Amino acid sequence: MSLDSETVKIPTKNEKYNNILVVDDDRTVRMALVDAFTRENYEVEEANNGMQALNICKRHMPDLVLMDAVMPELDGFDACQMIRELPHGSDIPVLMITALDDEQSIVRAFSSGATDYVSKPINFSVIKQRVARLIKASKAEKDVKKLAYHDPLTSLPNRTYLKQQLAVTVNRAATENQRFAILFLDLDRFKMINDTLGHDAGDLLLKAVAERIRHCVRENDFVARLGGDEFTVVLENIASLDGASNVAEKICRSVARPFGFMQQKMFVTTSIGISIFPDDGEDVSALIKHADSAMFRAKEKRNDFCFYERGMEAEIAKRMKLEQELRKAIESDQLVLHYQPKIDFKTGELVGAEALVRWEHPLKGLVPPDVFISLAEESGLINPLTDWVLENVAVQIKRWLDLGHSLVLAVNLSVKDLVQEDLHIKLEDLIKRNGLPKNVLELEITESTLMDHQELMIKELNKNKKMGITVAVDDFGSGYSSLNYLKKLPVDVLKIDRSFISDIESDPSDSAIVAGIIALAKNLGMSTVAEGVETEPQRYILEQLGCDSFQGYLVSKPVPPELFAEQFLTPEKVI
């Protein structure tokens, strides 16, 4: 069970865990120390003066430095102080060896940053015990710091560490007159993966995403996980905005590549907001806030990045207010359903209708569906919104059936509706409570949703099919469908996307594509519906091509139930 191929290093029994740097200009003493600690299964490096020790520490920091105080070129006191100033140099224990036992030398050792000291002549038993205790204490302290400053899942720095690092970065950039960028990342559709595949799969995905992000940045760039599916990247010393753009684009491309999990492919994308120091703020909180604001703008497109622009906060506040109002609208019946008729080509009779939700805001008037549906998707309100639609559609169709009318009502479902484990239970309860017969409810699902979640769709839609609910693929032809999976999916209807209908009179390619879709549907035992039919020539061509039914402004725009009944249900009306 893994996401991406990873090599996990398992230490062997005889592996040397601790690395010691022994620094002494006396070769005899140095070799004696090296030999003593090598026998104790330590990895030992050696240097004959403070300058050599400093250069070794710059390349890689040992677990402990054992250093003589008095040496030529650079003595132990100054070398210790300089090591402390290196990255991660403040955390390692430095054990000073000195023949100077006066109080002034001891004070100088500690003020230089020494952790402890031992006096010459060296007692090897004592020094081995001292080293072992210091390394053990140092590792314990590092573990505590790691828990406090690192994310336990990905091992990346956490929010606390990020804020500390940013404070240092701001000061350095201001002093050196440099610019740096903060990239605020949020994964798209991550909750859906958690809900469908479980939190274990979600955790593996987060670890794999963290690894991909690390491979997209420079070694000295700072990457942190803030919690959930949020990550932050700090890019220091950027010459222009292009540097930040290139990294953001690289991360988007990398994360969008499929992840393999249990012989399945998982797809996730990321939205990235970017703020620049000092252009977008000169303190940590402002820079983080502005990167977060830019990320919300990027979320509108998904798998994209966006730089902060002045005024974004007002736009976000407006959107949050609209979200609160939508929540209230669902609870207080500000929503209404409109119905667009579907007409049979051969008979001209009504065969069904698509139910479309509308929001009649008490102050703003009619809020466009493309505004509040996307808002519901992003805010998690789509499930209660769909529940409201299903309840009201069930009541409406029962009323029309009781009056002797025969038709199918279609409801649009989002991917978040379909991944609910209890969707089929809700639908079964809805049908029983309203006493609905089979084949009067239809679920419309976009082509992209079906193709992105093929295995899940087969499983979930089969449950609904057993209840006599038909399934239509909405916007068919607008994406890329795997015909192999299409034949496996429990689909009854292909709704031909309106983009092929609008130019069907003048574009032979559109006509050929529509003819191909109709032939495919017939071969798979499915019916076809043409969307967006607006003219008589379009209707005529589609009828000649063998399309089964159509909907569009040629017959009617979506209308309230009362007007729909008046125009299409009394008496039987032939179009």
All structural domains of the chain with their residue ranges: 19-148, 159-308, 319-568
More confident residue, 137 or 339: 339
The pLDDT tens digits for 140-179 are 887 777 777 889 899 999 998 999 899 989 999 999 999 9
The CATH number of 159-308 is 3.30.70.270
Evaluate if residue 12 carries a pLDDT over 50: no
> Residue 417 has what pLDDT?
83
Question: Domain 19-148 in CATH: superfamily?
Answer: Response regulator (3.40.50.2300)
What's the confidence (pLDDT) of residue 452? Answer: 67
pLDDT at 396: 96
Query: Which tokens go with 570?
Result: 């009394």
Question: Quick one: which of 512, 513, 517 has its CA closest to 547?
Answer: 517
The more confidently predicted of residues 455 and 461 is: 461
pLDDT top residue among 547 and 316: 547
Name, in order, each residue with C-beta under 8 angstroms of 297's C-beta and a sequence gap of 6 or more. 273, 306, 312, 315
**What's the average model confidence in pLDDT over 248-258?**
93
Helix axes 241-256, 199-215, angle to 10 degrees: 140
- Note the pLDDT tens digit of each residue in 286-307: 899 999 989 988 887 788 999 9
The reported pLDDT for the residue numbered 11 is 36
Q: Provide the b/e sequence for 80-94 (b: ≥16 CB within 10 Å).
A: bbbbbeeeebeebbb
Is 90 exceeded by the pLDDT of residue 13?
A: no
Name the most confidently modeled range: 90-104, 119-133, 194-208: 119-133
Q: What is the pLDDT of residues 494-520, one digit of tens each?
A: 999 999 999 999 999 999 999 999 999
Contact 369, 358 (CB under 8 A): yes
Predicted pLDDT of residue 322: 82
pLDDT at position 108? 87
pLDDT of residue 34: 93
What is the reported pLDDT for 182?
Answer: 96
Whether pLDDT at 454 is above 90: no
Confidence grade of residue 320 (pLDDT, cut at 50, 70, 90): confident
Dihedral (Cα; 297, 300, 302, 305), 10-degree rounding: -20
Q: What would the mean pLDDT of 547-574 be, rounded to a whole number? A: 88
pLDDT at 310 over 90: no
Residue 444: per-residue pLDDT: 93
> What is the overall mean pLDDT for the chain?
87
pTM for this one? Answer: 0.59
pLDDT at 571: 61
How high is the pLDDT of residue 290? 92
With bands split at pLDDT 50, 70 and 90, how would you rate the model's confidence at 200? confident
Q: 16: pLDDT confidence band, cut at 50, 70 and 90?
A: very low
Q: Which CATH code of 3.90.1150.10, 3.40.50.2300, 3.40.50.720, 3.20.20.450 fits the domain covering 319-568?
A: 3.20.20.450
Q: What is the residue type of 476?
A: F
Q: What is the rounded radius of gyration, in angstroms, for the C-alpha atoms of the chain?
A: 34
Query: pLDDT tens digits for 173-199?
Result: 999 999 999 999 999 878 777 776 778
Supply the pLDDT for residue 479: 62
Q: What is the arithmetic mean of pLDDT over 114-136?
A: 89
Mutual orientation of helices 382-402 and 312-331 as an angle, nearest 10°? 40
pLDDT beyond 60 at 486: yes
pLDDT in the model for residue 296: 85
The answer for residues whose C-beta is within 8 angstroms of residue 390's C-beta and 6 or more apart is 411, 426, 427, 430
Q: What is the mean predicted confidence (pLDDT) over 465-494? A: 81
- Range name among 27-36, 253-262, 353-362 with the lowest pLDDT average: 253-262
What confidence score (pLDDT) does residue 556 get?
Answer: 95
Q: How far apart are CA 138 and CA 201, in angstroms?
A: 34
- Reply yes or no on whether the pLDDT at 7 is more than 50: no
Selection from 494, 497, 528, 420 nearest residue 464 by Cα: 420
116-119 and 94-98 strand pairing? parallel
pLDDT tens figures, 345-373: 999 999 999 999 999 888 888 887 877 88
What's the pLDDT score for residue 1? 41
181 burial via Cβ count (<10 Å: 0-12, 13-18, 19+): buried
- Nearest in space to 218 (alpha carbons), one of 199, 238, 203, 204: 238
Instruction: Pick the more confident residue, 366 or 453.
Output: 366
Q: Which residues contact 566 (CB under 8 A, 6 or more apart)?
A: none
pLDDT digits 0-9 by tens, 365-394: 888 787 788 788 877 788 899 999 999 999
Three state DSSP letters for 346-383? CCCCEEEEEEEEEEEECCCEEECHHHHHHHHHHHCCHH
Looking at residue 482, what is its pLDDT? 58
Mean pLDDT of 84-98: 87
